[in-house]
Amino acid sequence: MSNKQSTPVEGPAAPGRGGALHLSATKLRWGLLIAALGAIVAATVTMTVTGFDTDKVEAHHPGSEPVVRDKQFSSASEGDCLTWSKPDRSDLVKVNCGDEHLFEVAGVIDLRAYPGREFAEGTRHPDSLRMTELRDEHCVSAVQKYLGGRFDPRGKYMVNVMSPSPAGWQHGDRTLRCGVQVAATTASPATSGSITEPGTGQSKVHPVGTCLGINQNLPTDPVDCAQPHAVEIVGTVDLGDHFTGGPPSEADQDKYVEAECNRLSADYLGSPDAIRNKTLTLFFDYLEPASWLAGSDQLDCWLGKGADREGFAPIVGSARGEILIDGQAPVPPPNTGRSTPAPLPGAAPLPPQPQPR
């Protein structure tokens, strides 16, 4: 996945670009940004895959009755939805998938089928690193099977795994629950409805006006726009309204999404000059073939500011009003000629500007 950026310019339209000059950051640079954001998500997953907080479960002895939460966990099967409210998940229950829930079970893995003694009676509960390995070994394929091969690996949901609590493990439970939950860099938010329901989209989009927080100069989860954030969502483009059939090419997506995002941002801000005057940049993404074939067809239009170092600069306030960028009010560039905000580090160089005669 590669992010794109587009900065509207003042003056005559660039040839063939619908009144906007397209500045494409290098794929390597943006690929690294996306990989770094993925690492933040992966770190969060690693902290949650164990299923229960190992420091907050009571002692349990082989042969005794399992605790209530493990009764709920061990009876959960494919298609069940689970939720909890306590940090240690000790109040885990099964709920109707139409109600708010945190996890949808896509498959059950019995570790007793593993050769050797790694998961035999008396062995220790796997640590989070091992659980992450088990998730990658078993759960990605389980989720793909559950969804008939139509899972968007870059979409709204992420694959995860839940294990028995250490108490349940000591009691002899060796089953894992593979499933999906809403992708987030902190605690996953609740969702309603099964991912298998017809019409359930997997596109990772947000309501217009949402601001995404900032961590290590990268976008995170939604926050109030009065808080420091990396980007603001100014519109959502539905590529399904324009493309049919197989996955559209990256070039065709770029042309369509750029024009739509420029139009949507002008509508959102009330003026086509607002982005320039606030020294901001319009960003958009690209749907990979795997996402398109899984049914995802929507992309967000992001408004942000590239940092001098890497990633995004922190912004406070909605772009519809007064904002601070890195703690400073933006200074509009001179309103003469074909002035443009400075491109992000790593962006393709601007073409030479025509000189007055």
The 10s digit of each residue's pLDDT in 249-266 is 999 999 999 999 999 999
Q: In whole angstroms, what is the distance from residue 340 CA to residue 131 CA?
A: 49
Task: Please report the pLDDT score of residue 333 as a whole number.
Answer: 87
Tell me the three state secondary structure of residue 130.
helix
Task: Please report the pLDDT score of residue 54 as a whole number.
Answer: 36
Task: Please report the pLDDT score of residue 96 as a whole number.
Answer: 96
Q: CA torsion, points 201, 202, 203, 207, in degrees to nearest 10?
A: 70
The 10s digit of each residue's pLDDT in 106-118 is 999 999 988 889 9
**Is 259 in contact with 282 (CB distance < 8 Å)?**
no
Q: What is the pTM of this model?
A: 0.76
Low-confidence ranges of the chain (pLDDT < 50): 1-2, 6-36, 38-50, 52-68, 339, 345-351, 357
Q: In whole angstroms, what is the distance from residue 182 CA to residue 159 CA?
A: 9
Question: Count of residues for the chain?
Answer: 357
Q: Report the chain's C-alpha Rg in angstroms.
A: 24
Task: Please report the pLDDT score of residue 308 as a whole number.
Answer: 78
Strands 81-83 and 93-95: antiparallel
Task: Please report the pLDDT score of residue 10 as a whole number.
Answer: 28
Task: Please report the pLDDT score of residue 33 as a whole number.
Answer: 47
Tokens coding 232: 């603001």
Only one residue has tokens 């002895």, namely 61
Q: How many CB atoms lie within 10 A of CB 38?
A: 16
DSSP H or E segment with residue 104: strand 103-110
**Is 75 in contact with 89 (CB distance < 8 Å)?**
no
- Name the nearest CA neighbour of 164 among 301, 76, 52, 262: 52
Task: Please report the pLDDT score of residue 307 as a whole number.
Answer: 86
Neighbouring C-alpha atoms within 13 Å toward the C-beta of 348 = 13
Q: How far is CA 213 from CA 38, 137, 184, 207, 216, in A?
A: 15, 32, 11, 15, 10
Tokens coding 175: 């089953």
Q: How many CB atoms lie within 10 A of CB 171?
A: 19
Task: Please report the pLDDT score of residue 61 as a whole number.
Answer: 36
Task: Please report the pLDDT score of residue 19 as a whole number.
Answer: 30
Output DSSP code: residue 152. -
Tokens coding 104: 């949808």
Strands 229-238 and 20-23: unpaired
Q: How far is CA 98 from CA 71, 189, 200, 205, 206, in A?
A: 22, 15, 12, 21, 21
Task: Please report the pLDDT score of residue 4 as a whole number.
Answer: 60
Q: What is the DSSP string of 261-281?
A: HHHHHHHHHTSTTHHHHTT-E
